Amino acid sequence: MKVTAELDRRFRDAAAAAGDLDVGYDLVDTPVGELFVGATPAGLCRIAYDPEPERIVDSLARSVGVRVLRAPRSVDETRRQLDEYFAHRRRQFDLPIDLRVAEGFPRRVLDELALVPYGELTTYGELARRADHPRAARAVGTIMNRNPIPIVLPCHRVVGASGSLTGYGGGLERKEALLKLEGAL
């Protein structure tokens, strides 16, 4: 007997409210396409472009915990702030972040990245300097490419020393769109 959409929704809401999920996620529509958005009870842990939910869910189950469930309520606040950001009504995200999967140098770089302000550009080399490894610009590029929480951790604001956009995990078009939205281009 098929579970109705309403009953399904009720269970997913109750699971999110119970606090027993390792990760609750949903797919969120934005002007730069559909995003996978996932959060642990401690905070936002994953945003992904062009999501293949099954693959991301499997990888979160391995890295965070097996109790991964599509539970829209878990990411309501993130969805709201993303909507505001894309509607030019928010310049800074105010969300708890869970970066438990990043350690060591990548973690330091992502922490520095979080401080790059709206509408401003920085370079891979500069970010490496701020994370106390001035010669690690290339490694910073790799870390940006694997950024677990793009948009909210603004790797789109990081460009090459010559000012070229260089690259973006979600594709250069999106990097350009985000920087235009912020008035940086």
Residues that bind other proteins (CB under 8 A): 1-3, 7-8, 10-11, 14-15, 18, 20-22, 54, 57-58, 60-61, 65-70
- From CA 12, how far away is CA 73, in angstroms rounded? 8
Beta partners for residue 49, in sequence order: 35
In whole angstroms, the minimum distance from the beta carbon of 72 to other proteins comes to: 13
Phi-psi domain of 58 (left: phi exceeds 0; alpha: psi -120 through 50; beta: other): alpha
In whole angstroms, the minimum distance from the beta carbon of 11 to other proteins comes to: 5
Is 45 a catalytic site residue?
no
Which residues of the chain form beta strands (DSSP E)?
23-30, 33-40, 43-49, 68-70, 122-123, 158-159
Q: Which of 47, 68, 99, 155 is catalytic?
A: 155
In whole angstroms, the minimum distance from the beta carbon of 68 to other proteins comes to: 4
User: Based on CB atoms, which residue is closest to other proteins, 3 or 185?
Assistant: 3
Catalytic residues: 155
